[in-house]
Amino acid sequence: MTAEVSHSFLLDGAVEWSEIATALGDLRLEFDTEDMSLSFRMLDCHDQLLRKSGRVLLEFDDSLTMLAAGTPPQRQATAEAARFPADLPEGPVKRLTEKTFPLRCFLAMASGTLHRNSLRVVDDEAKTHLRGEILTVGSDAGHVTLVTLSPLRGYTRAPDRLGAALLAHGAGPLEAEHIFTTLAPNVPRYVAKPKMRFSGHETAFDVAVETIRNYIAVARANEAGVIGDHDTEFLHDYRVALRKVRSVLSLFKGVFGSVQTAELKAAFSDLMAPTGRVRDLDVYLMDRAGYDALVPEQLRPGLSVMFDAFAAERDGAQAKLVKHLKSKGYQKKISALEEQFAHPDGFVRGEAGGLSAEVYARKLVWKSYRKICKIAAHIGDDTVDEDVHELRIACKKFRYLLEFFAPLFPGKSAKRLIKRMKALQDTLGVFNDCSVQKDSLATFMSTHPAVTGARGLEAAQSIGALIAILDQRQRAERARVMTYFDQFNSAETRAEIKTLCQRKGAAA
């Protein structure tokens, strides 16, 4: 019997303990406490990262209990107003969840009633050989029983016998997925990056439609979280999903008719436009500690003027965004797009729509790669910011193409190429962030009403210092761009891209 099976068990429904007790022979099963009936919540984040990692988090009796196969339960106190892992008191659950999803809030996946009891296995002299805990957890959808055994040193018969008896009554190892589907069968799995599977016979049109349909679904799965303002990642995922839809429309040239492509681009741009300012403010507010750390301590109070203004503006921008997402106009527009891609027969196909997806993909990827190389060849110490931004955008488009077409490429070639791009994209991202932030902070300093009076002067001095530091950081990142490009564009990478893109007649 493995350690996983012998220490934690999962059974459907309630357990007939009288039948299990008869299998213990000369040992006796006793229950130490009266059955406690408690309210519970099963918690996870929107990404369901605990579920994906094989863990179950239960909140009951003012405590949190983390369960996973093969390990003892981890417990700690909860806090009444704890929305995020950081809000919890110190303990093992806080450490694990803060590491797993620091930016995501807890959400209740299921709730209901939990019955808690503890057991002992004793001999004729009432000496304890084994201890255990029983949690019978029930929602409106179903019930499961979780049994955790805690063997005592020197005693092996009791855990072996009780474990065998539980197995004989249908027990299995603790499986998070089974618990989720029993207690919360109507909570779908959330995947921010849907993985597509193709047979190899698809056209470019098929891939474009399927990709857009999947990312519309991702955007819609985040609407309620954006409206509820649960955490900043709902809006982030919503925007990324719509950005990828727009990327497909831009990159898959000739797949849809030109008029329809223009109409679709405009429609998705209109959906995304009201989200921009809230996201910008979220990024500033989340990075407040980082901004404070960049300037001397005596200048930090001046930054508070700016962050207080951002927080107030964010409240108003969020209210407008909620009104937009709840509006009949928005709901009608996105529902119509959803329906359009669910039934794509009404689309006008462009001249490339009927091409083999595989051949089309290889041509697009090769063209995108060559564009990156062409832009990078002209970047040096004196290159204007716009050219560095152009390289960043070209790299992002290249990565998107690899992600969209990954199922069509052999093995893990696309994933390897994306991984090799990471350092280059990271430094290009920092460069771009510094540039955008410098411009935004300069605009704030010259136009915002908060930068007036005595406190306004204090704020202006702090913001000015911050802009100077961001400029230094941007210059440092510029110097790294070509170093990281050379690392990405190694002979090995060039050969792999060329081999991938020249298969089956793709032009090089």
Q: How many CB atoms sit inside 10 A of residue 249's CB?
A: 23
pLDDT score recorded for residue 43: 98
pLDDT beyond 70 at 184: yes
Alpha-helical (H) ranges within 222-294 are 223-228, 232-251, 258-272, 276-286, 288-294
Angle between helix axes 232-251 and 385-405 (nearest 10 degrees) is 90
Q: Which residue has the higher pLDDT, 322 or 34?
A: 322
pTM of this structure: 0.90
Kindly report the backbone phi and psi dihedral angles of residue 120, in degrees, each rounded to the nearest multiple of 5, phi listed first.
Answer: -135, 145
Q: What is the pLDDT of residues 284-295, one digit of tens each?
A: 999 999 999 999
Among the residue ranges 189-198, 320-329, 374-383, 487-496, the one predicted with the least confidence is: 374-383
> Rounded CA gap, 282 and 233, in Å?
10
Kindly report the backbone phi and psi dihedral angles of residue 134, in degrees, each rounded to the nearest multiple of 5, phi listed first.
Answer: -120, 125
Which DSSP letter does residue 176 get? H
Where do the domains of the chain lie? 3-183, 191-342, 355-508
Beta strands in 82-170 (DSSP E): 107-122, 128-138, 143-151
pLDDT score recorded for residue 198: 83
Same fold, 3-183 and 191-342: no
Kindly report the backbone phi and psi dihedral angles of residue 170, in degrees, each rounded to the nearest multiple of 5, phi listed first.
Answer: 95, 10
> Rounded CA gap, 473 and 290, in Å?
13
Measured at the CA of 163, the angle between CA 159 and CA 166, to 5 degrees, comes to: 145
Q: What is the pLDDT of residues 80-137, one digit of tens each?
A: 889 999 999 999 999 999 999 999 999 999 999 999 999 999 999 999 999 999 999 9
pLDDT score recorded for residue 503: 60
Per-residue confidence at 341, pLDDT binned at 50, 70, 90? Answer: very high
Q: What is the pLDDT of residues 346-386, one digit of tens each?
A: 999 999 999 999 999 999 999 999 999 999 988 877 788 89
User: With respect to CATH, is domain 3-183 assigned 1.10.8?
Assistant: no
Q: What is the pLDDT of residues 389-415, one digit of tens each?
A: 999 999 999 999 999 998 888 888 888
The fold of 355-508 is CHAD domain (1.40.20)
Q: What is the pLDDT of residues 209-246, one digit of tens each?
A: 999 999 999 999 999 999 999 999 999 999 999 999 99
What's the chain's average pLDDT?
92
Tokens in use for 324?
């937009």
Determine the average pLDDT of the residues in 248-263.
96
Specify burial of residue 396 (Cβ count, 10 A radius: 0-12, 13-18, 19+).
middle
Q: How many CB atoms sit inside 10 A of residue 507's CB?
A: 10
pLDDT beyond 60 at 5: no
| DSSP character string of 309-371 | HHHHHHHHHHHHHHHHHHSHHHHHHHHHHHHHHHSGGGSPB-TTTTSBHHHHHHHHHHHHHHH
Q: What is the pLDDT of residues 50-74, one digit of tens each?
A: 999 999 999 999 999 999 988 889 9
> Rounded CA gap, 212 and 193, in Å?
12
> Rounded CA gap, 156 and 1, in Å?
12
The fold of 191-342 is CHAD domain (1.40.20)
